[in-house]
Amino acid sequence: MKIIVLDGYGLNPGDLSWNGFEKLGECTVYDRTTPEQVVERAAGAEILITNKTVLTADIMKSLPDLKYVGVLATGYNVVDVKAAKERGIVVTNIPAYSTDSVAQMVFAHLLAITQHVEHYTEENRIGRWADCRDFCYWDTPLMELAGKKMGIVGFGHTGQATARIASAFGMRVLVYTSKNEQQLPSGVSKVSLDDLFRTCDVVSLHCPLTDTTKYLVDAARLKQMKPSAILINTGRGPLVNEHDLADALNRGEIYAAGVDVLSCEPPKADNPLLAARNCYVTPHIAWATIEARSRLMDMAVENLRSFLSGKTIHNVAV
C-alpha cells in the first residue's frame, strides 16, 4: 500500500510522528508539493493525504491507482469531491478536532483587545513602569467582559464551546442559529442576525462558508454594530469583506477586530486588515495547538485504518 503525504509540514513541522501512517503502508511524506509536482509525486499511490494541496478532476484522472484521499482538515474544498465520487475514490476529513483550541483563540483575541497585555509588557521592558510616578499607569481602554453581550453566529461545536467560555466570564450569550430554542442550553438566547449585530458588544463568527454566508459581514452589517463593538473571526476569511472591515475600523465605526483567518492565505502584503486600526491578526493558528494537531493526526490515521478495514468513517464523497 503506497501512501503519499503531499504537504505534511502544516500539520507536523517536526514535533509529531508519522509512525501511524508508516504502520499502514509504504509512506512517503513531502513537506510541500506544488501543483506541477502532484501527478509525478502521486504516481502509483493508492492513498493520498493532503492538507491544502489541491486535487482536481484532471489530477485524479491521471492517477488510476488512487483509491483514497485523506484531508488533514475539516474543510475539504481542496478536493473535487464530485469527481472523486465518480471515480470511486473515497474522501475523508477530520471533523471537530480543534473545537476547544479555536474557542480558546476567540478569547485570546478578545482579551488582547480588552486588556492589552502585550502592550504593557513591551512598555515595561523599556522601563515605563519603573519610571512611573504612580503605582500604576494605563493609556488604553480597559474593559470588563462580565455583563457584556456575546453574539455568536453559528452554533455548532465551536460556537457552543465559545458560548460556554463566554458564560463563564459572566457574559450574556445571544446566538444566530438554525437550531430551535429547545435545543439551546440554559442561558443562551436565539435572536435574528440583525438584532445580534445591533445589540451585542462582541460578535464571533462560527458559521460555515457558503454562497449565502460569503461576505456576511460587509459595510451595511458593520454599520449596525455599536461603535464600541468588537468583531472576532476564527471561522473562514471570506465571511468578512476585508476592505469594508478595514474602513469601519479606521473610521471608528466599530472599536476593534480580532481575526485568525483571511480571504487569501498567506495574505498579500497590501491586505487592508494588516494595517487597520485596532485590528489584531494571527496567522490561522487557532487550530494549531499541539493537542489539536495530535488529535488530528490520530484521527487521520484512524480514518485510513477504518477505510482499509472496509468500515469507512468521515466519508465526504458520498
Query: Quick one: three-class SS letters along 81-103?
Result: HHHHHHCCCEEECCCCCCHHHHH
| Residue 10, burial from CB neighbour count under 10 angstroms (0-12, 13-18, 19+) | middle
CATH numbers and ranges of domains, the chain: 2-96+290-308 (3.40.50.720), 99-281 (3.40.50.720)
pLDDT for residue 140: 96
What would the pLDDT profile of 150-207 be if each residue is shown by its tens digit? 999 999 999 999 999 999 999 999 999 999 999 999 999 999 999 999 999 999 999 9
The pairing of beta strand 68-71 with beta strand 47-50:
parallel
CB 52 within 8 A of CB 10: yes
Residue 48, amino acid: L
Q: Is the peptide bond before 266 cis (omega within 30 degrees of 0)?
A: yes
| Cell output for 232 | 472576532
**Which residues have a Cβ under 8 Å from the Cβ of 125 and sit 6 or more positions away?**
none
| From 118, 265, 277, 291, active-site residue | 265
SS3 of 156-209: CHHHHHHHHHHHHCCCEEEEECCCCHHHCCCCEEECCHHHHHHHCCEEEECCCC
Which candidate in 41, 284, 302, 305 is catalytic?
A: 284
Give the pLDDT confidence score for residue 120 in this predicted structure. Answer: 98
Q: Are strands 2-5 and 26-29 parallel, antiparallel or unpaired?
A: parallel
Do the beta carbons of residue 242 and residue 265 sit within 8 Å?
Answer: no
Going by C-alpha positions, the residue among 158, 161, 162, 129 that lies closest to residue 145 is: 162
Residue 87 neighbours by CB distance under 10 Å: 16
Of 50, 93, 132, nearest in space to 302 by CA: 93
Q: Please indicate whether residue 26 is annotated as part of the active site.
A: no
Is 265 catalytic? The answer is: yes
Q: Reduced to 3 states, what is the DSSP secondary structure of residue 304?
A: helix
Sign of CA dihedral 114, 219, 234, 262: negative
- Select which of 109, 236, 295, 314 is catalytic: 236
Question: Among 5, 10, 33, which Cα is nearest to 20's?
Answer: 5
User: Contact 265/237 with Cβ under 8 angstroms?
Assistant: yes
Contact 231, 261 (CB under 8 A): no
Residues in the chain predicted with pLDDT less than 50, given as ranges, are none
Burial of residue 53 (number of CB atoms within 10 Å: 0-12, 13-18, 19+): buried
pLDDT of residue 317: 75
Length of the chain: 318
